[in-house]
Amino acid sequence: MREQDYSGVLMSSRGVLTELLWAEKYRPKSLQEMVNQEDIVKRLQVFVKEKNMPHLLFAGPPGTGKTTAAHALAHDLYGEDYRLYMLELNASDERGIDVIRTKVKEFSRSKLPVGVPFKIVLLDEADNMTADAQQALRRLMEMYVDVTRFILIANYPSKIIEPIQSRCAVFRFTSLKREDVVARLKWICSHEKVVCDDKGLDAIYEVSGGDMRRAINILQASAALGEVNLSNVYKVVGLATPAEVRALLKTALFEGDFLKSRDTLRKLMVTYGLSGVDIVKQLHREIFSSEVPIPEEIRVEIADYLGEVQYRLVEGADDEIQLSALLAKLVLLGKTLRQQPPPARPSKR
């Protein structure tokens, strides 16, 4: 699902909205409707006011509004018929030198819009373009700069060659804030008449990590189960709930019960279909949670060992052996915690 569609569809009383209808109904159409990227929006609005802009490079994590910002900019420049003056290509599919030499070149030569002295070529996922295509693009950016402006969108701007980067004004998008993601999800739930609670929406943010597209897709899947709550969110994403992961961590670290923690781990993996990497990532998140009171030096050792186990799993090591070794390490590290006397209670006077 593409970023411009503002991320997904939802179950509703009328059935399932198609991706196209979702795009038309919910995607921000103007720069004024965008949130969280205030500095970027202000800079783009200056270009709209002046009816002039340089080549642009939008860089940042997925699901943060890069393609949406490009469409909103074109809408504010050209009006409702902005697609007549914007050529959109997805460079992950059309990334060869022939596309640059034909489609882009022909569009750059076509008629200009009224009131704006240039057209826009939008190259989505430009970091997937081949080296030859980027070299050809570099030349076209120079030749047609008087009638065409290029907007390049990349998750990994380092893959864009330096000559192109130097020709562009770079806009770096950041992951969305919790309050903005939750507010947007609530707004969608109210329009689609989906029942949700705050814990469920917070869980969606935690899982999505500021990726709005992923957040709305999780919301859609959770709504299909009837209600967006904590249990349903973790069920549809195939992850154990934080409480279950914390219970596993406490059994190994504070109780020192290796066999019980190993049985708990197996149940989690069977129930949720978790991989070893999933378990490691969730444990990593929980050791830095305020819900688990771990001394700093122990926390550092656990984090160090989690990184080692994650590397082994990615390289193809056996999940069960590595996770059993991880639990054994937690039991050994917790030995010093269990030997420490409990903190003295303040005397009553």
All domains of the chain in start order, with CATH: 37-172 (3.40.50.300), 178-237 (1.10.8.60), 242-339 (1.20.272.10)
Q: How far apart are CA 31 and CA 9, in angstroms?
A: 22
Q: How far apart are CA 221 and CA 226, in angstroms?
A: 10
Question: Comparing C-alpha atoms, which of 66, 63, 130, 135 is closest to residue 94?
Answer: 130
Q: How far apart are CA 328 and CA 110, in angstroms?
A: 68
Tokens standing for 59? 């860089």
Task: Name residue 223's amino acid.
Answer: A
Q: What is the DSSP string of 215-258?
A: HHHHHHHHHTTTSB-HHHHHHHHT---HHHHHHHHHHHHTS--H
pLDDT of 213: 84
Task: Name residue 42's amino acid.
Answer: K
Exposed, middle or buried, 296 (CB in 10 Å: 0-12/13-18/19+)? exposed
pLDDT of 338: 67
Q: How far apart are CA 283 and CA 288, in angstroms?
A: 9
pLDDT of 16: 39
pLDDT of 89: 83
pLDDT averages per 10-residue partition of the chain, 349 residues: 37 37 59 83 91 92 88 91 86 62 75 83 86 83 86 91 91 89 88 88 88 86 86 85 87 89 88 85 85 84 92 91 92 77 51
pLDDT of 92: 60
pLDDT of 8: 38
